[in-house]
Chains A and B, each alone.
Chain A
């Protein structure tokens, strides 16, 4: 999960820099692929860690929490990105840089939370019988 989040951070940071510095678009696409690889690496691990921390009594609740965090996290970020984009336009700065800085900030937070999941989070809830 940590590696996945780190790749996501590198990829989004690469995108933000590519947009800001206006380098060759292939570099922006490459950064995007790195971010996608981070998702491919990290996403399955969140499912595994969630199940490892679940018992027969809360597996459904935790599974729904993971899915809800996933879908509403995306929806909230899109809404926020729309606001940042509009603010950037109004302020006369490149609105895309604003959006990608937001993506970087969210990825950085993900790196922090991934470090707090406790090694597959088996230590987290050993309340199961």
Chain B
């Protein structure tokens, strides 16, 4: 708290009229992506059972993680050339189309295709929102905006699985996907005025084609990780191309910011993936009690597939 702020210009606030609608819209978009990421673990056992596609179960989780990389790189490149407005709209449309494809899927193959679209759209959406934060909000408000993004993951982690289970039980699992389309449209409408304001101007260089190719290589390597862990080396090679120079070597400044984000995610998700499993195995707690440890510790980030041998797969998917 500073006492030196001039009285004539009130300190900007996140929910002041100038920002409220955009703030709420962005929060809703983040919460929606989070809800879909978490809810899908709840309904996937039912879906796989009904569509007779247990063999594609792991892929249904890994596919959006992989396609997300392509979405992120594309949105970043597009946004540097033309501003974030068009890529944000495109990503929201892709995400919504993915939801519809999943919600109407006649087979598990189609459902996985829908998940690929969801990943593309969701990854691109995240990047578009970050850029929008930089353009729309003054620096003093940015910590609060990003904190609200983090909070947008907590609510779905508390209520998402229960809500998804209820929807699946009451009107069927398809509405866990289809119901979210209306929410996506509503949240998109809230962000629209801010998108119109930022327009389509940016100063970036055209992105070399090779970067998109590396995104595809990275995506393929991520898919291979589960069956073939040495593919991690290819992922690292791709990361070298997709991150600012020196990020893997923790060069001072921005490269270290990016590296820190990656390491935090790596450390926490390694810990998270095994928490329920270790509480069950080493202390003999039931999955329900152990799951309490997870509830409420909602952390933003795409949940990677929990399918590697010995990971907490199953224990986090109710029933």
Contact = CB atoms under 8 A, between A and B. Distances in A.
Interface of A: 1, 4-5, 8, 11-12, 15, 19, 22, 25, 28-29, 32-33, 35-36, 38-40, 42-83, 85-86, 89, 94-96, 99-100, 102-104, 106-107, 109-110, 112-114, 116-118, 121, 123-125
B304 A74 contact: yes
Interface in B249-274: 250-254, 256-274
A99 B146 contact: no
A68 B242 contact: yes
Nearest to B142: A48
Given A61-B207, A117-B254, 5 more contacts: A29-B293, A65-B258, A71-B301, A73-B263, A94-B282
B165 interface: no
Contact of B256 (A22, A42, A77, A113): A113
Interface of B: 65, 68-69, 72-73, 75-80, 84, 87, 123, 126-127, 130-131, 133-135, 139, 142-143, 146-147, 149-150, 202-205, 207, 218, 222, 225-226, 229, 232, 235-236, 239, 242-244, 247, 250-254, 256-275, 277-279, 281-283, 285, 292-293, 297, 299-302, 304-306, 308-311
A47 to B, nearest CB: 4
Nearest to B242: A68
Contacts of B259: 69, 113
A25 B283 contact: yes
A36 to B, nearest CB: 4
Nearest to A99: B274
A39 B301 CA distance: 11
Contacts of A81: 270, 273-274, 308, 311
A102 B271 CA distance: 9
A36 B131 contact: no
Given A51-B130, A80-B232, A68 B297 contact: no
A63 B258 contact: no
Given A39-B299, A71-B302, A82-B309, A55 B203 contact: yes
A121 B225 CA distance: 33
B77 A61 contact: yes
12 contacts: A5-B260, A53-B253, A54-B254, A57-B202, A64-B72, A65-B243, A68-B73, A77-B270, A78-B270, A82-B309, A118-B256, A125-B253
A12 B268 CA distance: 8
Interface centre among B142, B218, B292 (most CB of A within 10 A): B142
A100 B266 CA distance: 12
A63 B242 CA distance: 11
A117 B310 contact: no
A73 to B, nearest CB: 3
A114 B304 CA distance: 24
A44 B243 contact: no
Contact of A72 (B222, B251, B253, B271): B222
Contacts of A112: 250
A96 B134 contact: no
Contact of B265 (A73, A82, A96): A73
B204 A56 contact: yes
Given A62-B254, A72-B235, A123-B253, A77 B260 contact: no
Contacts of A55: 203
B282 A19 contact: yes
A63 B127 contact: yes
Given A121-B254, A125-B253, A77 B147 contact: no
Contacts of A49: 254, 257
B225 A70 contact: no
Contacts of B130: 47, 50-51, 59, 63, 66-67
Given A67-B123, A67-B127, A28 B270 contact: no
A117 B239 contact: no
A8 B264 contact: yes
B79 A12 contact: no
B278 A19 contact: yes
Given A49-B257, A62-B244, A74-B302, A57 B205 contact: yes
